[in-house]
Amino acid sequence: MVALMAVLLAGCTASPAAPSTVETPRAASGGLNNTDVMFLQMILPHHRQGVELAGLGHTKAARSELVQLAAAIEATQDDEVELMSGILADSGAPSAAPSTPGEEDPHAAHGGLPGTSEQQVAALRASAGTEFERRFLNTMMAHQGDAIQLAKMEVASGTDERLVDLARRIEQSRTAQIEQMQRLLDATPR
């Protein structure tokens, strides 16, 4: 984990630090450090996709427990997107990391998470009944696991108290959601 964090931080510095510099590299504006900015740039699209997935869950699932969980995930992540979008906009940092031609994810070289593929989303949309519920639960557990990894990165190296606090809440709530989804999956007929 320590090695991963070193790679993550090294890959996102806005400019090379002088060898004698000891302080934490700061983002160009807004008082956010590079980890804070990277966290926002990575988790915002992740959350937006989570809202899309949760929307499918609360409209297509048959079991009321799953419908309620999906609706709660959608509402929570909508609120978090609004909060984080405001912080990122107020900081003056770009909403996405600059990319080079042909590069899909500018954060891929330092721990960028692949997210849920369009093929997975299409398969989820095309499924129904028990197949949908199993696919939805498996997809969302993986998706929320990725959110936990991003949150851990922010807690470990972020400096903005609002974001570190939010990241801690994300880690706790997504862990609880995964546990709940695993129980629902275990109760899903095969």
Q: What is the pLDDT of residue 8?
A: 39
Using pLDDT thresholds of 50, 70 and 90, give the confidence band for residue 115.
confident
CATH number, domain containing residue 139: 1.20.1260.10
CB 56 within 8 A of CB 3: no
Is 79 part of any domain? Answer: yes
CB 97 within 8 A of CB 38: yes
Both tokens of residue 142?
Answer: 């993986």
Range of the domain at 84: 30-93+114-186
Is 56 part of any domain? Answer: yes
Both tokens of residue 186?
Answer: 């275990």
Q: What is the pLDDT of residue 112?
A: 57
Is 24 part of any domain? Answer: no
Is 4 part of any domain? Answer: no
Number of domains in the chain: 1
Both tokens of residue 103?
Answer: 């590069």
What distance in Å separates the CA atoms of residue 59 and residue 49, rounded to the nearest whole number?
A: 16
Q: What is the pLDDT of residue 14?
A: 39
What distance in Å separates the CA atoms of residue 53 and residue 74, rounded to the nearest whole number?
A: 8
pLDDT for 24 beyond 80: no
Using pLDDT thresholds of 50, 70 and 90, give the confidence band for residue 190.
confident
What distance in Å separates the CA atoms of residue 1 and residue 148, rounded to the nearest whole number?
A: 13
DSSP 8-class letter at 109: G
Is 10 part of any domain? Answer: no
Q: Taking all residues of the chain, what is their mean pLDDT, rounded to a whole number? A: 83
pLDDT for 119 beyond 70: yes
Q: What is the pLDDT of residue 121?
A: 94
What distance in Å separates the CA atoms of residue 169 and residue 105, rounded to the nearest whole number?
A: 26
What distance in Å separates the CA atoms of residue 103 and residue 154, rounded to the nearest whole number?
A: 24
Using pLDDT thresholds of 50, 70 and 90, give the confidence band for residue 105.
low
Using pLDDT thresholds of 50, 70 and 90, give the confidence band for residue 104.
low
What distance in Å separates the CA atoms of residue 47 and residue 37, rounded to the nearest whole number?
A: 15
Torsion sign over Cα 154, 158, 160, 165: positive
CB 25 within 8 A of CB 34: yes
